[in-house]
Chains A and B, each alone.
Chain A
Amino acid sequence: MSTPLTLFEKVWADHVVVEETVDTPAVLYIDLHIIHEVTTPQAFSVLRKNKLPVRRPELTLPTLDHSTPTTPVNTFKDLLVAGEGAANQVRQMERNCEEFGLDLLGYGSGKRGIVHVIGPELGATQPGKTIVCGDSHSSTHGAFGALAFGIGTTEVGHVLATQCLLQRKPKTFAVNVEGALPPGVTAKDLILAVIGKIGVDGGTGHVIEYRGDAIRALSMEERMTICNMSIEGGARAGMIAPDETTIEYLRGRPRVPQGAAWDAAVARWRTLRTDDGAAFDKSVTIDASGLAPMVTFGTNPGMVIGIDEPVPESNDASFRKALDYMQLVPGTRMTEAPVDVVFVGSCTNGRLSDIEAAARILEGRQVADGVRMLVVPGSEQVKADAESRGLHRIIQAAGAEWREAGCSMCIGMNGDIAQPGQLSVSTSNRNFEGRQGVGARTVLASPATAAASAIAGYIADPRKYL
């Protein structure tokens, strides 16, 4: 009998062009390379300087998301809303794609959106693929049983020029989630709890595989929320073995194989699971049934508590600095904190089900006085789907803003920012100092918690609004 292998090891082995040695890393083949305007210009400059083409344009998926405005764009002037640098970057990306023969899903395509939202939506993200992007949340695509990770701009150049990367094989980390999530507790709460448990560096050097009943029970969109934040636990990638849920999600999507090729692909995908008895380098087990909605209280995603727990105390200097920045006092409850801004969106929680979850709570209610709420769909497709269900009307009737697709306030590159000192309840993935604007205080939460907080004007437990 052959050695039992983990899901990661199977996908890795399937893409090794040249094995690693003590002296050299492995040459790893990349099946899908998603690119955007912010982390590619310097890579295209390298190609130009060396007179190299993009080796496999058909495996390259370019879009515009990070520095695009979330107001309508019809002319170059409309781009300037996001600032001159951002507008030029978008234009540069359009020029680069044209020069190198890449099919940009940009303005007018109807398919533009956040890199990690459009890959799955188009069916370009598939089980068993290697997927990279110059963005650390590339781990999102691991929800399909792909090996997906973020890379730097130098590596973007490597993939554009050779379709390969030089990589050392990472270690494996099993995160087992048993039990079932209680009502009102979402995938976002689960992944925040996982990061709280393993710490923001718990996964460094590892690829996580999420396993167990609670994971199997999740929809694909929920699985993407989980894998998305693997990097927040320090891991390069997060993976979930494909199953019927995965196959049903992909069926009929524009970029999946058709006809007999679909059947062959599905047969291959079904083999992509960790064999019984396969060993992980480390593992942790979490019981989902005891979880509450989670909120962060500090300046990294590992500083997280259940919404009904008090803010903890510590003498550690970094901890105190974080609490000072957040203007929070140990022993108080997060539900005592007044809210200025609420953001629903990002590659963590900007898909249709996230917008639905927020809209369900907003329906028939009003965003509290003095609170600004932004709802930003993850892609133009998500926006169209939400509008065909009338969700935008519910959102607007509640007094929230319904915007154009993009990264928006997740990264604050396009002018969508919170003001210094403002408290933002955000469905994105990073509560770093200044992430959503200089001095802005970010509390990470699920779409339901974000919507409930918008209505209450304070951080609120969504279970009271269900």
Chain B
Amino acid sequence: MKPVRIIRSKTVVLPNRDIDTDQIIAARFLTTTSKEGLGQSAFYDLRYNKDGSEKADFILNRPESKGCGILVAGNNFGCGSSREHAPWALLDYGFEAVISTEIADIFRSNSLKNGLVAIVVDAATHNWLLENPGADMTIDVESTTIALPNGRTVDFEIDGFARYCLLEGIDQLGFLRNQLDNIERFEEARTWKP
């Protein structure tokens, strides 16, 4: 994973609540054995007509959305399936962060492990973001703050370990493998074996 420290970008807003992982990446695109190239299938049924042409009125297809790296979404983003293809698809599409008032547990955990910064903000900040699509802002993972173009700075919470891994670009598998002595001791000391 690449280190993630500062994200500077305009936002794109998908205001709907409960955007599930099936909408982010539909199951028919999961028959892949790699992580690459999923971006073209992100939000497929929202982005494309049946004949494969782009839906002109869908926000991601509008010219002002091109190159936006921050996705602002309605409450409870990423609910549903555990498919890590969802953050892979968003990252491959070009998103670096997603902001909502609530983000589903597994999606959030998957996102942070891949360097997609999943941020939960308070309702007032969220409303401001919904009402100001295209806001040019800066996310600072180190100070866990968002600098809004109106001059306000908002703090956000992120698990300390996830933050450390983002900043250093740390792969958690390496961290876990450093625990192997402890794991072996645990296995030996158990009073019952699975």
Question: Which residues on A are within 8 Å of B, measured CB to CB?
Answer: 17-18, 22-25, 27, 29, 31-32, 38-39, 41-42, 45-46, 50, 59, 66-67, 83, 85-86, 88-89, 92, 126, 129, 134-136, 138, 150-155, 157-158, 161-166, 168, 170, 200-201, 204-205, 231, 234, 236, 264-265, 268, 300, 316-318, 321, 411-413, 420, 430, 432-435, 438-439
Give the docked Cα–Cα distance between A201 and B120 (Å): 14
B51 interface residue, CB < 8 Å from A?
no
Judge whether A164 and B176 touch: CB under 8 Å: yes
| Complex contacts, A200 vs chain B, CB 8 Å | 18, 76, 79
Q: Does B194 sit at the interface, judged by CB under 8 A?
A: yes
B177 contacts partner chain A, Cβ-Cβ < 8 Å: yes
* Distance in angstroms between the alpha carbons of A434 and B180 in the assembled complex: 43
The answer to whether A234 and B30 touch (CB under 8 A), given A22-B160, A32-B194, A59-B194, is: no
Residue among B16, B160, B187, B194 facing the most chain A CB atoms (10 A cut-off)? B194
User: Can you list 29 A-B pairs, Cβ within 8 angstroms, ordered by A?
Assistant: A17-B179, A17-B186, A18-B179, A25-B161, A27-B179, A39-B83, A45-B33, A134-B82, A154-B110, A155-B109, A155-B113, A158-B172, A162-B177, A162-B180, A162-B183, A164-B179, A166-B175, A166-B176, A170-B105, A200-B76, A204-B76, A204-B105, A205-B105, A318-B16, A412-B28, A430-B20, A433-B23, A434-B45, A435-B22
Residue-wise interface mask of B (82-117) relative to A, using a CB-CB cutoff of 8 A (1 in contact, 0 not): 111000000000000000001011100110011000
Q: Which 3 A-B pairs have the closest CB atoms?
A: A85-B31, A31-B194, A41-B33
B183 engages A163 (CB within 8 Å): yes
Give Cα A438 to B23, complex, Å: 11
Q: Which residues of A contact B74 (CB under 8 A)?
A: 318
Distance, CA A83 to CA B29, complexed state (A): 11
- In Å, the complex CA distance between A292 and B80 comes to 25
**Neighbouring B residues of A17 by C-beta, 8 Å:** 179, 182-183, 186
A413 vs B176: C-alpha distance when bound (angstroms)? 33
> A164-B183, A166-B175 given as contacts; is B105 within 8 A of A151 (CB)?
no
A76 to chain B, nearest CB (A): 15
Are B20 and A300 interface neighbours, CB within 8 A? Answer: yes
Contact B172 A154 (CB under 8 A): yes
In chain B, positions 108-136 with a C-beta closer than 8 Å to chain A are 109-110, 113-114
How far apart sit A112 and B114, CA to CA, in the bound complex (Å)?
A: 32
In the assembled complex, the Cα of A18 lies from the Cα of B185 at a distance in Å of 11
A88 touching B22, Cβ below 8 Å? no
Whether B148 sits at the interface, judged by CB under 8 Å, is no
Task: Give the Cβ gap from A257 to chain B, nearest Cβ, in Å.
Answer: 9
In the bound complex, CA of A255 to CA of B83 (Å): 29
Q: Which residues of A sit under 8 angstroms from B53, Cβ to Cβ?
A: none
Shortest Cβ distance from B87 into A: residue:
A152
Interface assignment of B137: CB less than 8 Å from any CB of chain A = no
Shortest Cβ gap from B189 to chain A (Å): 10
A150 to B80, CA, bound (A): 11
- For B29, the closest partner residue in chain A by CB is A85
> Does B27 interact with chain A (Cβ within 8 Å)?
yes
Whether B35 contacts A151 by the Cβ 8 Å rule is: no
Report the nearest A residue to B86, measured CB to CB: A152
**Chain B residues near A151 (CB-CB < 8 A):** 82, 106
